[in-house]
């Protein structure tokens, strides 16, 4: 059994004082996106602050063309085509990026994940449709590119975490029918090997199948769609994203999932 030793946490709030920034204190590669921090959300021009939509029509001013990475690694997520910019919304006390399921998507510059063969991906996400989509993916196709991952949904009622080196390991969390809002976490270590998907603070499935050895690659990170909004569009919302180029320990998993849950409005 390759479980990671964390189950339901029985908490609804991240412990006071915890910041995902601490997850990068030792120089870990990765990103942290927080749409609720309005100082990090900009319009298509990359310099004008995005105004959260609360009602009425969605305007240019509500569109997001730049989401600043708060990890300290400087990997901002960008979109320079106006019609492909997701909207920043503020509803029910929560901020989120709304992706239209047609052409919206954000992408970073290449991120050098090659120093490690492990990854931890934490997301607060809502899907409006049961179809194949990307919440977060490194490279333009994690199904074919070595050293990559995709976390998203697939047709049916499933969340999926996929990792690839010389082969692909797909692991699913079933029975999450849209519309569905969850904290979805993907964890893996190529050499162990272990690949795990967790939903709302509980481990749902884990696999010891090997995707091949080697480290992750030097790839762009895509949010809300594959390949800078080219395909596998998310019809839904992203509330929070934390990606670390390490296999997080049980304490960090618990703290990060609890933090993401507060941003997503999910009780875990």
Partner 1 sequence: MSVFATIVVSNSNKVEAQALTSLDMFTTEFKKGLRKYWVSSGNFPQDYYDALIDNDLVYLSLTDQNVKPTSGLFDLGLSKVITED
Give dist(CA 216, CA 258) in Å, integer.
26
Contact with partner 1 (CB under 8 A) among 168, 178, 212, 214: 168
Binding status of residue 228 toward partner 1 by CB under 8 A: yes
Least Cβ distance, residue 231 to partner 1 (angstroms): 6
Least Cβ distance, residue 81 to partner 1 (angstroms): 4
Binding status of residue 19 toward partner 1 by CB under 8 A: no
Least Cβ distance, residue 181 to partner 1 (angstroms): 17
Give the three-class secondary structure for 260. Answer: helix
Binding status of residue 136 toward partner 1 by CB under 8 A: no
Least Cβ distance, residue 267 to partner 1 (angstroms): 27
Nearer to partner 1, 100 or 252 (CB): 100
Cβ-contact 190, 165 below 8 angstroms: yes
Contact with partner 1 (CB under 8 A) among 73, 132, 180, 185: 132
Supply the DSSP string of 151-207, one letter for each residue. Answer: EEEETTTEEEEEEESSSEEEEEE---PSSEEEEEEEEEETTTTEEEEEETTEEEEEE
Residues ≥6 apart with Cβ < 8 Å to 174: 156, 157, 158, 204
Binding status of residue 58 toward partner 1 by CB under 8 A: yes
Give dist(CA 251, CA 253) in Å, integer.
5
Binding status of residue 145 toward partner 1 by CB under 8 A: no
Binding status of residue 57 toward partner 1 by CB under 8 A: yes
Binding status of residue 154 toward partner 1 by CB under 8 A: yes
Task: Report in angstroms the alpha-carbon separations of 87 from 64, 79, 95, 245.
Answer: 6, 12, 10, 28
Beta bridge partners of 132: none
Nearest CA to 245 out of 147, 143, 168, 159 is that of 147
End-to-end, the C-alpha distance of the chain in Å comes to 24
Give dist(CA 46, CA 244) in Å, integer.
25
Nearer to partner 1, 14 or 232 (CB): 232
Task: Report in angstroms the alpha-carbon separations of 188 from 11, 140, 216.
Answer: 24, 20, 11
Residues ≥6 apart with Cβ < 8 Å to 21: 32, 70, 71, 72
Nearer to partner 1, 82 or 208 (CB): 82
Contact with partner 1 (CB under 8 A) among 22, 48, 155, 267: 155
Nearer to partner 1, 20 or 86 (CB): 86
Nearer to partner 1, 232 or 254 (CB): 232
Give the burial class of 211: count Cβ atoms within 10 A of its Cβ; 0-12 exposed, 13-18 middle, 19 or more buried. buried
Binding status of residue 103 toward partner 1 by CB under 8 A: yes
Binding mask 60-99 for partner 1 (x = CB under 8 A): x--x----------------xxxxxx--------------
Binding status of residue 141 toward partner 1 by CB under 8 A: yes
Least Cβ distance, residue 196 to partner 1 (angstroms): 20
Residues contributing to the site for partner 1 (CB under 8 A): 57-60, 63, 80-85, 100-104, 128-129, 131-132, 141-144, 154-155, 162, 168, 228-233, 235
């Amino acid at each position: 059994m390759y479980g990671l030793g964390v189950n339901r946490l029985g908490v609804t709030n991240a412990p006071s004082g915890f910041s995902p920034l601490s997850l990068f204190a030792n120089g870990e590669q990765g990103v942290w996106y927080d749409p609720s921090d309005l100082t990090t959300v900009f319009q298509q021009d990359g310099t004008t602050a995005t105004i959260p939509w609360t009602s009425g029509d969605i305007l240019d001013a509500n569109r997001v063309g730049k989401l600043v990475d708060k990890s300290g690694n400087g990997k901002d997520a960008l979109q320079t085509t106006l019609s492909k910019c997701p909207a920043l919304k503020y509803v029910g006390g929560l901020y989120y990026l709304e992706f239209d399921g047609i052409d919206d998507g954000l992408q970073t510059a290449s991120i050098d994940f090659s120093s490690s063969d492990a990854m931890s991906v934490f997301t607060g996400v809502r899907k409006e449709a049961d179809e194949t989509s990307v919440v977060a993916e490194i490279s333009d196709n994690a199904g074919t590119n070595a050293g990559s991952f995709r976390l998203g949904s697939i047709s049916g009622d499933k969340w999926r975490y996929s990792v690839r080196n010389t082969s692909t390991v797909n692991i699913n969390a079933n029975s999450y029918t849209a519309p569905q809002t969850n904290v979805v976490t993907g964890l893996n270590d190529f050499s162990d090997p272990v690949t795990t998907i967790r939903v709302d603070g509980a481990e749902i499935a884990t696999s010891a199948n090997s995707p091949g050895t080697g480290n992750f690659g030097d790839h762009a990170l895509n949010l809300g769609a594959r390949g800078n909004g080219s395909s596998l569009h998310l019809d839904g919302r992203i509330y929070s994203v934390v990606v670390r180029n390490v296999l997080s320990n049980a304490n960090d998993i618990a703290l990060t999932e609890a933090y993401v849950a507060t941003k997503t409005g999910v009780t875990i």
